[in-house]
Structure 1
C-alpha cells in the first residue's frame, strides 16, 4: 500500500505544480496589474526554490521528490517578469537573472556552501511568505493575489511532508515543508479574509 500511496502523492503533487502559478498569472494578466503581490516575496520564493532544487540534485535524491521544482521555477520566473512589467521595472529582470544564474553555480562549489544554503533556505522561503503576509496586511487588500495558487501550495507542502518521510527522511527538508505548510495556510487564510472583507464593503 505504501508504494501505491507514495506514487499517488507524487503524481498529484506534479499535477498540481504543473498549474500552481497559472491562477495567479491569469489574475495578473487579466487585471493588467500586480496589486496585492509582493515582488520581494516572489524573489525570495524563487531563491528558496533554486537552493532547494540544487540541494536535491547535489545529494542525488530521487527525481520524483523534486521533479515539480523546475516547473514551479519556470512559472515563478514568468510571474516575476509580469509583475516587473506591470510595475514598470522590467529592466531589472536581466539583473536578477544574472544574480540567480550565478548563484546556481556557486552553490555547489563546496559541500559546506550547499549545506549552509539549504539550512538558510527554510528561512528564505519562510521570509518570502512573511513578506507577502506583511504586504497583504499593509494594503488590507488581497488585490490580485490568488487564493487558489496559495491553496495549491498548501496541498503540495502537505504532500511533500508525506513523501519526505517515506523516501529521504531528511530532517532539514521535513522541517522546511512543515514550516511552509503553516505559512501557506496563513497566507491563504489572509487572502480569503481580505477578499471577504472587500466583498462586504
Structure 2
C-alpha cells in the first residue's frame, strides 16, 4: 500500500511540474509584460534548483525523487529569458547562462562544496521567495504573477515532503521542502490578497 501511495505521489508531482510554469509563461506572453515578477527572485530560484538537482545526482538518490527538476529548470530558463526580453535585457541571458553552466561543474569538485552548497541553496531558494514577496509588497500589485503556478508549487512542496520521508529521509532535503512549502503558501496568499484588493479597489 505504501509503495502504491509513493508511486502516486511521484506521478502527480511529475505531472504538476511538467506544466508548473506554463500558466506564468502564458500570462507573461499574453500581456507582453512581466509586471509583478521579480527577475532576481527567479534567478535565485534557478540557482537553488540547479544546486538541488546536482546534490541529488551526486549522492545517487533515486531518479523518482528529483525527476521533475530538469523540467522545472527548463521552464525557469524560458521564463527568465521572456522577462529579460520584455525588459530589454535579453543580451544578459548569455552571461547568466555561462555563470550557471560553470557553477554546475564547480559544485562537485569536492564533496564539501556540494554539501555546503545544498545547505546554502535552501537559504537561496527561501530568499528567492522573500524577494518575490518584497516585490509584491512594494508594488501592491500582483500584475502577471500566476496564482495557479504558485498554487502548484504548494502542492509539489507538500508531495516532496512525503516522498523524502518515505525514501531518502535526508534531513537537509526535508528541511528545504518544509521551508519551501511555508513560503509558497505565503506568496500564494499574498498574490490572492492583492488580486482581491485590485478587484475591490
Question: What TM bracket, shorter-length normalisation?
Answer: over 0.9
Number of the residue aligned with 1:80 = 80
Query: Are 2:125 and 1:125 aligned?
Result: yes
| Residue of structure 2 in register with 1:56 after alignment | 56
**Residue in 2 that maps onto 1:179:** 179
Aligned to 1:20: 20
Using structure 2 for the length normalisation, give the TM-score.
1.00
Cα distance in structure 2, aligned partners of 1:90 and 1:196: 33
Q: What is the Cα-based RMSD across aligned positions, in Å?
A: 0.3
Q: Which residue of 1 aligns with 2:113?
A: 113
- The answer for unaligned runs of 5 or more in structure 1 is none
Within 2, Cα distance between the matches of 1:168 and 1:37? 34
Once the 2 structures are TM-superposed, how far is the Cα of residue 179 of structure 1 from its aligned partner?
0.1
1:1-201 pair list within 5 angstroms: 1-201=1-201
How far apart are the structure 2 equivalents of 1:122 and 1:91?
29
SS at match of 1:20: coil
Question: What SS does the corresponding residue of 2:34 show, helix, strand or coil?
Answer: coil
Gaps of 5+ in 2: none
Distance in structure 1 (CA, Å) of the matches to 2:24 and 2:125: 18
Distance in structure 1 (CA, Å) of the matches to 2:197 and 2:35 = 16
TM-score (norm 1): 1.00
Matched residues, number: 201
Q: Secondary structure at the match of 1:35?
A: coil
